[in-house]
Amino acid sequence: MERGHKLIEYRKVTKVYDSDIVAVKDANITIEDGEFVCFIGTSGSGKTTALRLVNRMHDPTEGEIFIDGENIQDYSPVNLRRKIGYAIQQTGLFPHMTVYENVVTVPRLLEWDEEKCRTTAEQLMERVDLPIELLDRYPSELSGGQQQRIGVIRALAANPGVVLMDEPFGALDPITRDALHDLVIELQEEYNNTFIFVTHDMDEALKLADRIAIWHEGEIIQYDTPENILSNPANDYVRSFIGQDRLFDAKTNNIKVREIMNENPLTITPGKTVSDALTIMHNKRVDTLFVVDDNNKLLGRVTIEFIANVDDQSKNIMDIIDREIRPLRADDLIQNKLREVLRRGRSNIPVVDKENILVGIITKTTLVNLTYNLIWDQDIAQEEILEEGLSE
Ligand code: ADP
Ligand code: MG
Residue 389's pLDDT is what? 44
Q: Atom 22, ligand 1: which residue's CA is nearest?
A: 17
Per-residue pLDDT band for 380 (boundaries 50, 70, 90) equals: very low
Query: How far does the centroid of ligand 2 lie from the alpha carbon of residue 335, in Å?
Result: 36
In a domain? residue 252: no
Examine residue 250 and state whether it is found in any structural domain, yes or no: no
Residue 295 contacts residue 285 (beta carbons within 8 Å): no
| Claim to verify: residue 56 and residue 127 sit in the same structural domain | yes
C-beta of 389 in contact with ligand 1 (< 6 A): no
Is 317 domain-assigned? yes
How large is the average pLDDT for residues 41-57?
A: 93
- Choose the final residue of a domain: 212, 242, 272: 242
In whole angstroms, what is the distance from residue 45 CA to residue 237 CA?
13
User: Which is the closest atom of ligand 1 to the Cα of 51?
Assistant: 6
Chain segment 2-48, per-residue pLDDT in tens: 557 889 999 999 999 988 899 999 999 999 999 999 999 988 999 99
- Cβ count near 178 (within 10 Å): 15
Residue 317, Cβ neighbours under 10 Å: how many? 25
15, 18, 21, 219, best to mutate for ligand 1 pocket (most atoms within 8 Å of CB): 21
How many angstroms separate the alpha carbon of residue 63 from the centre of ligand 2?
21
pLDDT digits (tens, 9 = 90+) for 159-184: 889 999 999 887 777 887 888 888 88
Count: domains in the chain: 2
> Mutation test of ligand 1: which of 19, 25, 49 has the most ligand atoms closer than 8 Å to its C-beta?
49
Residue pair 221/215 in contact by the 8 Å Cβ criterion:
yes
The domain in which residue 330 lies consists of: 257-388
Let me know whether 214 and 269 are in one domain. no
If you take atom 1 of ligand 1, which residue's CA is the nearest one? 44
- Looking at the fold, whether 285 and 231 belong to one and the same domain comes out as no
Q: Rounded CA gap, 320 and 305, in Å?
A: 10
Q: DSSP labels for 53-86?
A: TTTTSS--SEEEEEETTEEGGGS-HHHHHHHEEE
What is the number of the ligand 1 atom nearest to the C-alpha of 52? 6
Reported pTM: 0.68
Q: What is the pLDDT of residue 175?
A: 80
Tell me, yes or no, whether 236 and 296 share the same domain.
no
Residue at which a domain ends, from 209, 242, 275:
242
75 in a domain, yes or no? Answer: yes
d(CA 176, CA 182): 10
- Is 81 or 248 the better-scoring residue by pLDDT? 81
Burial grade of 380 (CB within 10 A; 0-12, 13-18, 19 or more): exposed
- How far does the centroid of ligand 1 lie from the alpha carbon of residue 51, in Å? 11
Which atom of ligand 1 approaches the CA of 42 most closely? 3
CATH number for position 62: 3.40.50.300
188, 213, 242 — which closes off a domain?
A: 242
Q: Is residue 13 part of a domain?
A: yes
241, containing H or E segment: helix 236-242
Cα 169 to middle of ligand 1, angstroms: 20
Beta bridge partners of residue 164, listed in sequence order = 86, 196
- What is the secondary structure of 349-365 as a DSSP string? EEEE-TT-BEEEEEEHH
Q: Is 376 in the pocket of ligand 1 (CB under 6 A)?
A: no
240 CB-near residues (< 8 Å, 6+ apart):
none
Residues 36 and 69 in one domain: yes
Based on the fold, state whether residues 211 and 333 are members of the same structural domain: no
Residues 318-363 pLDDT 10s: 999 999 888 999 988 876 676 666 666 666 889 999 999 999 998 7
Q: What is the pLDDT at residue 388?
A: 47
Of all helices (H) and strands (E), which one includes residue 251?
helix 244-254
* Residue 378 scores a pLDDT above 50: no
Q: Give the sheet arrangement for strand 328-329, strand by strand.
A: 328-329, 348-352, 358-363
Residue 387: pLDDT band (50, 70, 90) is low
Residue 105 and residue 216 in one domain? yes
The reply to whether 249 falls in a domain is: no
Do 155 and 302 have their domain in common? no
Maximum average pLDDT range among 18-22, 80-84, 296-300:
296-300
Shared domain for 21 and 138, answered yes or no, is yes
Closest CA to 148 of 132, 128, 163, 131: 128
Whether residue 54 sits in one domain with residue 158 = yes
CB 256 within 8 A of CB 332: yes
Average pLDDT, the chain: 86
The answer to whether residue 91 is domain-embedded is yes
Q: Give the pLDDT score at 13.
A: 97
- Give me the residues near ligand 2 (ion), CB cutoff below 5 Å: 48
Question: Mind listing the pLDDT tens digit for each residue in 125-158?
Answer: 988 889 999 999 999 999 988 998 899 889 889 8
Please indicate, yes or no, whether residues 203 and 301 belong to a single structural domain of this protein.
no
Q: What is the CATH number of the domain that holds 379?
A: 3.10.580.10
Residue 390 has pLDDT above 70, yes or no: no
- The answer to whether residues 206 and 71 belong to one domain is yes
Residue 79 inside a domain? The answer is yes
